[in-house]
Amino acid sequence: MATVVALAREPVLASNSCGYALALGDGSLLTSKTCGGLQDVRTLVASNAAFAALTGDGGVQSWGDSTADCEGLQAQLTNVRELHATWLAFAALREDGRVLAWGSQHFGGDASAVQAQLTGVRQICASSRAFGAIREDGSAFAWGDAFYGGDSRDVREQLSDVRQLVATDSAFAALRGDGTVVTWGNVACGGNSSA
């Protein structure tokens, strides 16, 4: 018996007790490499137009909209422990604390601006068009569309001793060890907690 775990506009993703994931529907958003199903799937995440699956061996497969293609990163997508999605991008957190992102550059799929910070990461979260991360040293940062929280430079000095990071549609909030909260992103969606 299959259980539906994610639903997009056209395809449906389902898994059963054996750990399989099958893409069903008219096939218009599926790539041929996944049409036969996946095995040993541990976690599924969905963007607005694609899916990504984390398998038991720590590997990742993604399919759907062409921006979801992780083929160029496949050799690096090993020992992955978490997957996260914005509307059109994915981010993977590896066991060694390294982060890999792919998908639309306007939705967080291009992390080159924060490349030096993508190691030693302990948590990732996503708004609709940006990713945020906490590093092992307690610092936090973001990348993606600035209007959706993808630019944390204005609050960089305050992003220390961060314990938790959460997001709305277009803003981030970081909880610090002293109980204070630092926010950034779209003010209308919570990006300014002092207002």
Work out how many domains the chain is built from and give that number.
Answer: 1
pLDDT tens digits for range 110-150: 999 999 999 999 999 999 999 999 999 999 999 999 999 99
Residue 101 lies inside a defined structural domain of this protein: no
In a domain, 167, yes or no: yes
CA atoms of 142 and 154, how far apart (whole Å): 11
Establish if 99 belongs to a structural domain: no
Q: Is the pLDDT of residue 15 over 70?
A: no
User: Is there a domain that residue 143 lies in?
Assistant: yes
Residue 14 has pLDDT above 50, yes or no: no
Please tell me the predicted confidence (pLDDT) of residue 195: 58
Give per-residue pLDDT as tens, 158-185.
Answer: 999 999 999 999 999 999 999 999 999 9
Q: Is residue 2 part of a domain?
A: no
- Domain hosting 167: range is 111-195
Closest CA to 29 of 8, 53, 59: 8
- Identify whether 66 is part of a domain: no
pLDDT digits 0-9 by tens, 68-94: 777 778 888 999 999 999 999 999 999
Residue 139 covered by a domain = yes
- The mean pLDDT of 33-61, rounded to a whole number, is 83
Q: How far is Cα 182 from Cα 186, in angstroms, rounded to an integer?
A: 13
| H or E element, residue 45 | strand 41-46
Percent of the chain surpassing pLDDT 90: 66
The CATH number covering residue 153 comes to 2.40.10
Within-domain flag for 67: no
For residue 150, what pLDDT is reported? 96
Does an H or E element contain 6, and which? Answer: strand 3-7
Q: What is the pTM of this model?
A: 0.81
DSSP annotation of 99: E
